[in-house]
Amino acid sequence: MTIEVEGLIKGYGDRVAVNGIDLHVAEGEIVAFLGPNGAGKTTTIEILEGFRKRDGGSVRVLGVDPDTAPLEWLERIGIVLQESEPIPELSAREAVTQHAAYYGHPRNVDEVLDIVGLTDKADQRTRKLSGGQKRRLDLAQALVGNPDLVFLDEPTTGFDPSARRESWDMIEALRSLGKTVLLTTHYMDEAERLSDRIVVIAEGNIVARGTAADLATQVNATTRISWRVDPGAGAATPPSKLRVVVDNQGIASISTDDVTSALRALTGWALDIGVELQDLQVRRPTLEDVYLALTDDTTPSTTVDG
Ligand code: ATP
């Protein structure tokens, strides 16, 4: 295990920020640590990075307790913070070269610039780099020490959609290098796209963990069948077992786990009495729905795996 956390507790004054969580990340795994604002993500990550002391529980990162870790341990870790400003007068290459000097066995600087897609901008002063390019530079600085483990704190917050996608490509590059990655994010699509496994934290408790598919089965997120009520249908109502709800816009809907049977009963009824099911739609729950359901209810739930 690259990261082993058991019963981690951290409070600020009376406030419990992290409430006894367990977290395990295997070598080579990419895990997304997901949760709303104030959930405890940054506190946890900072404890794992050795920047913050815990109040309780045990933590091992690359086999070492971050509280008492030697300097060589830090060299095996790459950290990309939410915000960082490179020295504006340095070129991208100089900025990475300066960083490389902190490490005993750094990677080749041009190779790292290539991995993050900054070869074209190697000689450009960092003040002239775009926001997305600066994040690439952050990653290059984190990678130049050739770390085994990379922490990425909200790598795409504030990005426009195309910059987000570019960043995703860059994070995929970490996978091909075989790095272990723990990334925090607010975005469900990002977690689903980039990670092998998702861990959801809310109010200091882990509320779910597993693959995106595992998460979808952990909450009661049902499929919604809806249609526009035909004013010509008069008083005709579908069979009561379908539990149809009609809103004040004239949209009828059914929430169900058994879509096939519900559709069969509904369309059978409509065909029998000659009612048109206008705008008939079947909407399966998205992972976003699942996430909202999980983080609305902060009671710890059963977990799928470690
Ligand atoms: P965000 O997504 O907004 O970054 P987060 O999940 O990273 O949130 P944390 O920053 O770990 O959450 O904060 C967890 C809780 O601890 C919040 O209630 C926050 O207000 C509180 N907190 C965080 N840092 C401190 C601090 N230095 N002093 C006091 N309270 C803090």
Question: What is the CA(154)–ligand 1 centre distance, in A?
Answer: 14
8 SS3 class: strand
25-42 pLDDT, tens per residue? 999 999 999 988 899 999
Q: Please tell me which residue, 256 or 167, carries the higher pLDDT value.
A: 256
Nearest CA to ligand 1 atom 2: 37
190-209 pLDDT, tens per residue? 888 889 999 999 999 999 99
Contacts of 247 (CB under 8 A, 6+ apart): 253
The pLDDT score that the predictor gives to residue 233 is: 65
Residue-wise DSSP of 212-224 = HHHHHHHS---EE
Nearest CA to ligand 1 atom 25: 12
What is the amino acid identity at position 67?
Answer: D
Query: What backbone torsions phi and psi does residue 126 show, to the nearest 5 degrees?
Result: -65, -25
Could you give the dihedral angle defined by the CA atoms of residues 164, 167, 168 and 174, in that order, rounded to the nearest 10 degrees? -160
Query: Quick check: 221 and 192 in contact, CB under 8 A?
Result: no
Question: What is the CA(183)–ligand 1 centre distance, in A?
Answer: 16
Query: What backbone torsions phi and psi does residue 282 show, to the nearest 5 degrees?
Result: -120, 120
Question: What is the CA(62)–ligand 1 centre distance, in A?
Answer: 25
Q: pTM for this structure?
A: 0.79
The pLDDT score that the predictor gives to residue 64 is: 97
The pLDDT score that the predictor gives to residue 300 is: 44
C-beta neighbour count of 104 within 10 angstroms: 9
Ligand 1 cavity residues, CB under 6 Å: 12, 15, 17, 35, 37-43
Mean pLDDT, rounded, for 112-128 = 92
Distance in angstroms (rounded) separating the CA atoms of residues 91 and 127 = 9
Mean pLDDT, rounded, for 143-148 = 90
